[in-house]
Each structure stands twice: as structure tokens, then as C-alpha cells.
Amino acid sequence: MDRTVLITGATGTVSTALINALRGSGLTIRALVRDESKALPDGESTPSSAILADDIATRSAFRLKHGGGRLGMIDVRDIAEFAAVVLTAGPHTHHGRTYTPTGPESLSFAEVAAVFSAVLGRQVHYLPTGDAEIEARLLGVGVPVWIVGMLTEYARAYASGWGDFTTSDFRDVTGYEPRGLAGFIRDHADAFSSRERSPVV
């Protein structure tokens, strides 16, 4: 059957990965963007993830306002592959279903730092911080005020345990296991490799 999928926010991180995952699927892809000059996704990271990667590369530390909250975080490539499986299945296979795909384990950011340390072979530190500092940095690199506010709300929710769970949805739908954090770090090692500026802590 000839089917068309409309991908909104097509310049974004998740949508870029989804467009890549759908290549060769036989589906016709329509990409909706608000700025035509960005019409071809370039896969660049968002400002907030670029700040984290830069801090790990230059200071071997990252700052977040997630406190001791744990999170069943999922690799963006797995979000895309999950969506591609759903979209390429017959139109009725997933009709009316709601899924909550997660990564394989729920980790605190102290544990995330330990995984970074083990994979990169140097000590990486998680530095819990307050809202004002992070907000100022995000605003400084041009993140809109409303997104900074949304990220603050997310961080408070995660700090209170809102994201501390995993599900089997990814495996149930795709038939294989979601990627783990260590693999994510290995696959993006260039972004985190040491460009020492000044050690923190």
C-alpha cells in the first residue's frame, strides 16, 4: 500500500533520527518545517545537549538540576527506530495504542557520570546545580524563554522521581533490546573526548 507519513518539527533531533530510520522503508515522507532554509536536517545537537557534551569534553563534568532523580532515559535513535517500526506496520497494528518506550535501566546522574568515566577512561563528575545557573546558560545560547521554562519543569519532575521507571514497550514492539548508555557514549565518543580547559570540583 502506498502510504505517506507527515513528520512535523522535521529539523528536530527526534525527527531527524526518524527520517533516517524511515529511509528505504517504502513510505513516502513529507517533512513539515517552519524555516525552509533548515529543510534538510543536518543532525546537529540541540543547544542544551551541546552544552552538556562541551562540559564533559572540556571540564570532565556536567551540571544538571535533576538532583538525585533517576531516569529511564532512551537513546534518541531508539525513539526513532521504535516510531519507524510502528509507522511501517500495517495501519491497524498499533491503532489506538499508547506506548512509553524507555531505555534498559533507570539511572541517577551520579551513575550516569560513572558510566561516562568507565567508557571514556577518565573521571567524569555530575554536579547538581540550581535553576538559575542552568537557565542563564541556556538563555545565553539563544534557547527561547518558554523552552527554558519547560526544561526547568521537566528537571523538577525528574528530581522528584517522575522518570524513575522502565517499560518493556521497546522490546515488545521492536523485538530487540534498547541501546544502553555505554553504547551511546561509545558511539558519540568524539563529542566527549577530552579537550581539557580547566578541571571542575
Q: Which is nearer to ligand NAP, 14 or 114 (CB)?
A: 14
Among 38, 171, 186, 197, binds ligand NAP (CB under 6 A): 38
Q: Which is nearer to ligand NAP, 119 or 147 (CB)?
A: 147
User: Under the criterion CB under 6 A, does residue 13 sit at the interface with ligand NAP?
Assistant: yes
**Piece of 3-11, 54-62, 115-123, 183-191 that binds ligand NAP (CB under 6 A):** 3-11
**Piece of 34-42, 59-67, 113-121, 179-187 that binds ligand NAP (CB under 6 A):** 34-42
Is the CB of residue 102 less than 8 Å from the CB of residue 170? yes
Number of H helices, E strands in the chain: 9, 6
Is the CB of residue 191 less than 8 Å from the CB of residue 115? no
Nearest CA-CA partner of 46 in 79, 14, 22, 23: 14
Q: Which is nearer to ligand NAP, 2 or 35 (CB)?
A: 35
User: Under the criterion CB under 6 A, does residue 12 sit at the interface with ligand NAP?
Assistant: yes
Is the CB of residue 85 less than 8 Å from the CB of residue 176? no
**Piece of 7-15, 63-71, 177-185, 191-199 that binds ligand NAP (CB under 6 A):** 7-15
Among 7, 31, 56, 76, binds ligand NAP (CB under 6 A): 76
Cβ contacts of 85 within 8 Å, gap of 6 or more: 173, 174
Q: Which is nearer to ligand NAP, 38 or 197 (CB)?
A: 38
CA distance 157 to 138: 19
CA distance 43 to 21: 13
What does the binding site for ligand NAP look like in residue numbers (CB under 6 A)? 9-15, 34-35, 38, 46, 76
